[in-house]
Amino acid sequence: MQHLKNHSKHGEILAVSMMKDEAPFLLEWFAHHLAVGFTNILVYTNDCSDGTDTMLMRLEELGLGHHRRNDIPEGIKPQPSALNYAQAEPVVRAADWVLVFDADEFLCIRHPSHSVEGLIDDAVAQDANGIVITWRIFGSAGVVDWSRDPVTEQYTRAAPPLWNKGWGVKTLFKFDHRYWKLGIHRPSIKNKWLETDFPDSVKWLNGSGRPMEDYFKFRGWRSIRRTLGYDWCQMNHYAVKSVDSYAVRKFRGNVNNKKDKYNADYWSLQDRNEVEDQTALIHAEKRAKIMAELLKDPVLNELHFKALERVEARLDEYRQTEAYIQLRDSLVEAGQVPITQVEAKPPQARDPAKIAALMSRVEKETADKPIEERRNETVAGWAAADGDPYLEDIDISGEIGLEWVANHDIDLPADPRVFSPESLDVILLGRFERRHARNIAGYLEGCPRVLEIGGGVGFIGMRTVKISEGLTYMVHDSRKALIDYGKSLAERAGLGDTSRLKFTDGPLIIDGKPIGLQAYISDFNPTALRLARTADVPAETLAQIEMPNVARVVIPVVSDEQAEDYRAAYTPVLEAKGFREDAERATSGSLQFDRSE
């Protein structure tokens, strides 16, 4: 089995974990983390009844890792107890890089190397000595029944990456026991080094390889908007798995002895299936080969399959009970709670005075720096500079629970697969596209036929048709997923009459020329053109179009700066076609250009 051991030019790269009754899942977890490149694995166990500890002992005998008993002192929880032991453990002290994480967490690496070796290569190239890895919360994917299939292959649906309740972190860092105290999310600098120059030597990167903010050297266990990153790596968190797997967890309790942790509220928080995420499959082939090699060992093979048989026998009995039926039904119902309504346990109230009192001199100096020196730019993917309210990547496969809210008499879903986080906030308040929805009738007065380019799901088109008699509106968007989504929203709103409201996603540019756009203008013959997404029709493209019957061009803006940019780009083109701006209309949220008499 020694051929399965990894080696690294960065020395010992150690995974540290704590487990209790994880035997059915242990070999997959172990094989996965050999596949991503850890050179050593250390696992602490407590109160195991399913053979987890025996399997780990065998893995140690095979030279693939280390097992230690977690004898828990009175009044101490299992995780802190294990970390206290690990702090003094020779295997840990001999490690060069350490990552502490749980049995339901799988490190998944998008970095081109697909390995911890490659992650550390590029971190070291930036003079960094740590990588802060953010969770992705994976749900049940609608799976109820127990299966022996790999966890990472069964469950490929997750919370949206920008869902902040799923932003807990784990930290891969260069370890030196003299300076660092291990922690479940991140290590902490030992107090005696806080008032020295040691904190200046700490440089951590986020999961996209960008520098973390300085405050994170001292405190914090979650990503924030400015530090989030998944380009290099993520920590897949499979907290629930299937309904049956969840029942197995209830059998054995949890590693921190939290009373009634595995209830329906916890399920609704963790059973997030809004988007597809197959990152773990990057490692599937290598993990499967390693697991096959592990199962060639007759001792491991027997322990593994006996563990499966035991849990399956217990499940068979449990399924015959009323308690199982109640659990199953309650969890299926809990999984339909919209992500916008999910409640997490509120964090302890932040006490600025208490935090300030605990700060070392070095941390206070860091906190006192000007904002521009201590804060990163907000991560890409939030409110776009062009005001586009939709996510860049839209995946609406799979059924999820949605909260519907009336926005200007049109029901919209707070759908995190489609709308940006900021848009979800305003949808829930009933204020989506509020300014434009209020003023659109005035912008289109006297224009019976409207073509909107970049109309998204067609909300403004729906609003316009609903409040205007005798008007025909065509919504175009190059993103087919949005157009299909918009059609379903229109049907729900009672606006499925395609003689008044039309949706299309046909190409605007063909062979480098705006042939499609010209066809829409010639065939639909609009009297007003609304450019909701100027990236689809830049000024140079508009200059190539003949539009003799268009009487008005409307361009929504989100800021004065954007308005000036659009004026500079579009005014010369439109003036050449006989249009002039109505300057008084700009105060209502859009630039309006009318054809001169």
Q: Would you kindly state where each structural domain of the chain is located, as residue ranges?
A: 2-341, 404-595
Nearest CA among 140, 153, 170 for reference residue 266: 140
- Cα distances from 99 to residues 137, 234, 386, 539, 580, in angstroms, run 19, 13, 39, 51, 62
Question: With 70 as the cut, is the pLDDT of residue 533 above it?
Answer: yes
Question: With 60 as the cut, is the pLDDT of residue 73 above it?
Answer: yes
**pLDDT value of residue 297:** 97
DSSP 8-state code for residue 478: S
Banded pLDDT at 398 (limits 50, 70, 90): confident
Q: Coil, helix or strand for 531?
A: strand
Nearest CA among 234, 324, 327 for reference residue 277: 234
What CA–CA distance (Å, rounded) separates 472 from 524? 10
Question: With 60 as the cut, is the pLDDT of residue 254 above it?
Answer: no
What CA–CA distance (Å, rounded) separates 50 from 45? 11
Banded pLDDT at 139 (limits 50, 70, 90): very high
Question: With 70 as the cut, is the pLDDT of residue 384 above it?
Answer: no
**pLDDT value of residue 364:** 79
**pLDDT value of residue 487:** 97
Question: With 50 as the cut, is the pLDDT of residue 257 above it?
Answer: no
Question: With 70 as the cut, is the pLDDT of residue 216 above it?
Answer: yes
CATH 3.40.50.300 fits 404-595, yes or no: no
Mean pLDDT check: name the lowest of 136-150, 340-354, 519-533, 554-568. 340-354
- Cβ atoms of 61 and 91 within 8 Å: the answer is no
Mean pLDDT check: name the lowest of 181-185, 280-284, 300-304, 334-338. 334-338
Q: Which residue has the higher pLDDT, 459 or 584?
A: 459
Q: Coil, helix or strand for 241?
A: coil
**pLDDT value of residue 388:** 87
**pLDDT value of residue 580:** 96
Q: Coil, helix or strand for 107?
A: strand
Q: Which residue has the higher pLDDT, 375 or 37?
A: 37
Would strands 40-45 and 66-69 be described as parallel, antiparallel, or unpaired? Answer: parallel
pLDDT (mean) for 288-297: 98
Does this model's pTM top 0.75?
Answer: yes
pLDDT tens for 337-366 read: 999 898 877 656 667 777 777 677 777 777
Average pLDDT of the chain? Answer: 93
Question: With 70 as the cut, is the pLDDT of residue 199 above it?
Answer: yes
Banded pLDDT at 252 (limits 50, 70, 90): low
Q: Coil, helix or strand for 239?
A: coil
How far does Cα 149 stand from its chain's mean position?
24
**pLDDT value of residue 385:** 66
Would strands 157-158 and 130-137 be described as parallel, antiparallel, or unpaired? Answer: unpaired
Question: With 70 as the cut, is the pLDDT of residue 258 above it?
Answer: no
pLDDT tens for 269-289 read: 999 999 999 999 999 999 999
**pLDDT value of residue 346:** 61
* Percent with pLDDT over 90 in the chain: 82
